[in-house]
Every structure is written in C-alpha cells, then in structure tokens.
C-alpha cells in the first residue's frame, strides 16, 4: 500500500497542522461522474489529506490539498493552486509509463472540488532504504526522469523515497507532483532565467536518483558513479 499513514497509530495533530483542519477526507465522492467510497486514509499532513477510494473502475487515490487557514490567513487559494498544478502535470505525462493515470474530476453532490486531484492507485509500497530492487528498476526510473526532462519538466521532490513506489510488478512509479516545475510555452515564462532554474532542478533530480541508486544497488554502479561529490 503506497505511503500509508495509519489513522489508528498516528498521533492526532492540531487542526492548523492538518490540511483539512478537524475534518477527514469525505467518505463518499464522485470521480469522473462515478460514485466512490473511501476505504482508507493514507496520509493527512499540513499540505494535503490523501485517501484511497473504491469505485466501479477500481481503486483511486484522491488528494485534498490545503483548506485550513493559518493564523486567520485563508489558505484555500493555495490548495486550489497545488491541485491545479498536479492535475496539469498528470495530464501532461499521461502517455509516459510508470506514472499513474489521472482519474478525473472529483465532485461532491455534483460540486467540483477544486482543491482535489485524483490518480489511479498503484499497488505496491514506497521504496525502502537499501531495498534490493531488481536490476531494471533504476535504469527504468532514470529513463523516466530523462523523458520528463526532455519536456521541460523537473520533478523537484525526488529526495523523498516516499514519492517512489515499488510496484507489485517490480517497476518504479512516481507519485506526488504538486511542487514539480514545468515551463510554459510562452515568454518570459520560458526565458533564460527560468531555464537556468529548470536546469538546476533537473540536475537535482538526477543527483537524488543516483543517491537512491547508490543506496539500494551500489553493485550496478561504477566507481565514478558511486562518488556522489562529482555530481553536486
């Protein structure tokens, strides 16, 4: 099960440190016009509440981004922005393997929840430290990152192993694109200053993949690749 935080074992957080305040993800939603029932809460932190839903097309992960205010300051705008960014990323990458498909618009009683984003559930578990994944795992992950970079994208958050899923099929999958960067097709958004930032972030992507590679499968790397200082 990907990135699960048990509601039974997690200590209760003050509402200011919960994306939805005192509320939990709704028990019943509609996704792409179909009714889905909540079967588990995977995580609820300051940024988002993530839940697993069961419906006519199988299991779907729904992430509800920040709604709770902070010291009286409204934060719903941030939740909508993060959901919009992640939805756009999933749609832009929908033809790449090893990224879960966007599942569709989430509504409650017919009302679109603009702070929510959905994707198909990936059966598997988060990458563990020093996990002896199969020989193809990291080459596939590196190719996936290379393909993303070729589209003027940077994943940005690869330092977290929790964002890398080891599928039950043994393949790598990426989740959680809420802070990923993609350059627009217009100037100045795609001008040289932003391209310099993009190249820096893409270099960080490569570095963190290699760091996980060294941690899990050092036997596949050359002495030069094992020396991470060369890639800083």
Query: Is 3 buried (19+), middle (13-18) or exposed (0-12) by CB count in 10 A?
Result: middle
Q: What is the pLDDT of residue 191?
A: 86
Q: Are residues 36 and 91 in the same domain?
A: yes
Residue 177 CB neighbours (<10 A): 26
Q: Which of 120, 151, 182 is the last residue in one of the domains?
A: 120
Task: Compute the average pLDDT of residues 170-199.
Answer: 90
Q: What is the CATH number of the domain that holds 219?
A: 1.10.510.10
Domains of the chain: total: 2
Q: Are residues 23 and 111 in the same domain?
A: yes
Average pLDDT for the chain: 92
Task: Compute the average pLDDT of residues 183-197.
Answer: 86
- The tens digit of pLDDT for each residue in 160-181 reads 999 999 999 999 999 999 899 9
Q: Are residues 111 and 131 in the same domain?
A: no
Convert 100-159 into a string of H (helix), E (strand) and C (coil).
CCECCCEEECCEECCCEEEEECCCEEECCCCCCCCCCHHHHHHHHHHHHHCCCEECCCCC
The label of the residue with tokens 């719903």 reads 76
Distance of CA 89 to the CA centre of its chain: 10
The domain of 48 spans: 15-120
Task: Compute the average pLDDT of residues 118-127.
Answer: 98
Q: What is the pLDDT of residue 5?
A: 46
Q: What is the pLDDT of residue 192?
A: 87
Establish if 8 belongs to a structural domain.
no
Q: What is the pLDDT of residue 227?
A: 80
DSSP character at residue 10: S
pLDDT above 70 (res 10): no
Nearest to 78 by CA among 176, 179, 162: 179
Q: What is the pLDDT of residue 9?
A: 44
What percentage of residues in the chain have a pLDDT greater than 90?
83
Q: Are residues 136 and 223 in the same domain?
A: yes
DSSP character at residue 231: G
Beta strands (DSSP E) in the chain are 28-31, 34-44, 48-55, 58-65, 106-108, 111-112, 116-120, 124-126, 153-154, 164-167, 172-174, 181-182
Task: Compute the average pLDDT of residues 90-108.
Answer: 97
Establish if 29 belongs to a structural domain.
yes
State the angle between helix axes of 137-149 and 192-216 in degrees (0 to 180), rounded to the nearest 10. 180
Q: Are residues 200 and 226 in the same domain?
A: yes
Establish if 194 belongs to a structural domain.
yes
Q: How far apart are CA 225 and CA 184, in angstroms?
A: 33
Q: Report the predicted TM-score, pTM, of the whole model to 2 decimal places.
A: 0.88
Distance of CA 153 to the CA centre of its chain: 14
Task: Compute the average pLDDT of residues 12-35.
Answer: 94
Residues sharing a CB contact under 8 Å with residue 69, sequence separation 6 or more, in sequence order = 75
By mean pLDDT, which of 61-65, 76-80, 209-213, 220-224 is the weakest? 220-224
Task: Compute the average pLDDT of residues 205-231.
Answer: 89
Q: Which of 63, 91, 120 is the last residue in one of the domains?
A: 120
Task: Compute the average pLDDT of residues 25-46.
Answer: 97
Q: Are residues 111 and 136 in the same domain?
A: no
Q: What is the pLDDT of residue 6?
A: 42
Q: Are residues 91 and 104 in the same domain?
A: yes
- The token pair that represents 8 in the structure block: 């039974």
DSSP character at residue 2: T
pLDDT above 60 (res 2): no
Q: What is the pLDDT of residue 224?
A: 83
């Amino acid at each position: 099960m990907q990135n699960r935080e048990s509601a039974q074992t997690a200590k209760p957080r003050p509402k200011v440190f919960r994306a939805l305040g005192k509320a939990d993800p709704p028990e019943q939603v509609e996704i792409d016009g179909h009714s889905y029932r909540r079967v588990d809460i995977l995580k609820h932190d300051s940024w988002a509440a993530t839940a697993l839903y069961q419906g006519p097309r199988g299991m779907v992960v729904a992430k509800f981004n920040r709604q709770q205010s902070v010291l009286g300051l409204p934060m719903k705008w941030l939740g909508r922005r993060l959901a919009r960014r992640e939805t756009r990323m999933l749609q832009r990458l929908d033809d790449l393997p090893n990224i879960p498909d966007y599942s569709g618009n989430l509504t409650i009683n017919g009302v679109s929840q603009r702070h929510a984003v959905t994707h198909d559930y990936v059966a598997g578990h988060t990458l563990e430290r020093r996990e002896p994944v199969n020989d193809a795992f990291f080459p596939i992950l590196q190719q996936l990152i290379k393909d993303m970079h070729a589209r003027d994208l940077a994943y940005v958050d690869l330092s977290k192993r929790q964002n890398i899923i080891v599928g039950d099929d043994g393949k790598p999958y990426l989740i959680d694109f809420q802070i990923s960067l993609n350059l627009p097709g217009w100037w100045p958004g795609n001008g040289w200053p932003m391209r310099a930032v993009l190249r820096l972030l893409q270099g960080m992507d490569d570095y963190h993949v290699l760091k996980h590679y060294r941690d899990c499968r050092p036997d596949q790397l050359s002495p030069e690749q094992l020396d991470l200082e060369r890639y800083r």
